[in-house]
Amino acid sequence: MTDYRITNFLSTENKNINKKSLCTFPTPITKLDTISNELGLNLFFKRDDLTGLGIGGNKLRKLEYLLADAISVGATHIITLGGIQSNHCAQTALASKKLGLDCTVIIAGKAPKKEDYSGNLKLYQLLGTNVCIVPDFPDRQPKAEQLISELESKNEKPYLVPVGGLTDIGALGYINAMGELSEQIKSSGQNYDYIVVPTGSGGTLSGIVPGKELFSINSEIIGVAIEPSDEMVPDHVNEFTKIANNALKRISSDIMVNPEDFNIDFNVAYDYAVMRELELSTIKQVAQKEAIFLDPVYTSRAFAGFLNLVKKGKFEIGSSVLFWFTGGAGAIFADKYKF
């Protein structure tokens, strides 16, 4: 049954789905032996830092569907939005280059001199990506609308990928990822009591939650919020539910999810892209014990949130936990994050 659903889900005969292969799948699952022993848990990482294109990362799963959709409507120029060291923007730039599409990233923050670019900004220079830096987050959408008008006046066809790829098309990437995980569970015999997911814009969680139902994965899903609820998508849980259900409709599934299916923990949520001692110490802990590099914005904070839940007794001793490691290594090398 599961094999058929995966094959049918990716079928080119489904007119609601377009997909361009960008990644190397399945991404591996790695057990963190040292930290597992310290916590009394069986802790695993789903290594979406190893998706295979450029520096890897979770957004590439969504971009396989989003950029295929862009190509299907004749788009010539991809536009996306993010923060100054956005991993989403960096992965969009990589994927666009791979598929022969022009790309402009509109990012918010303090603009350094070009000779002082570091981290993901340096990647844009190497890729030849168009970079537009605006002072603050609310300035991004008006700038995108201006750019869209300019491109259309030149007979180009722009395609806007929203922050984090948060659409029902983007969610298909993580519905498919749960099919991949289902196959890994069956082949290895390793089940997971909990799946912990870094949660910012919510695009990843909006695919994982319906994917759990579609592929009958018996794990409790916990999103760990990166930023406070008032900085997320307005009415975020209902928005995630809507996106998830629209994605399920695209693959002709009669399954539906409810707002109650989205369990999001806000205990370590803080201002976006601010690295505190909490994130820094977590990065060092995982690097020094497991030789894996968390990023300063998402995975370090989410893993700190996971450790906070361990301290609160959320996980039974001996239980198996899968932390969905979403990547983001490029931001480690940004000058704004001092180690």
- Joined tokens for residue 138: 């609310």
Examine residue 259 and say whether the peptide bond preceding it is cis (omega within 30 degrees of 0): no
Please tell me which residue in 86, 182, 206, 300 is annotated as part of the active site. 86
Is the Cβ–Cβ distance between 173 and 64 less than 8 Å? yes
C-alpha distances in Å from residue 272, one per residue of 84, 205, 231 = 11, 18, 9
Calculate the CA 129 to chain-centre distance. 21
b (16+ CB within 10 A) / e for 261-285: bbebbbebbbebbebeebbeebbeb
**Structure-token match 């906070």, residue found:** 308
- From the list 253, 157, 234, 168, the residue with the least C-alpha distance to 207 is 168
- Dihedral (C-alpha) 138, 200, 302, 295: value to the nearest 10 degrees? -60
187 noted as active-site residue: no
- From the list 251, 245, 260, 164, the residue with the least C-alpha distance to 210 is 245
Residues acting as catalytic residues: 86
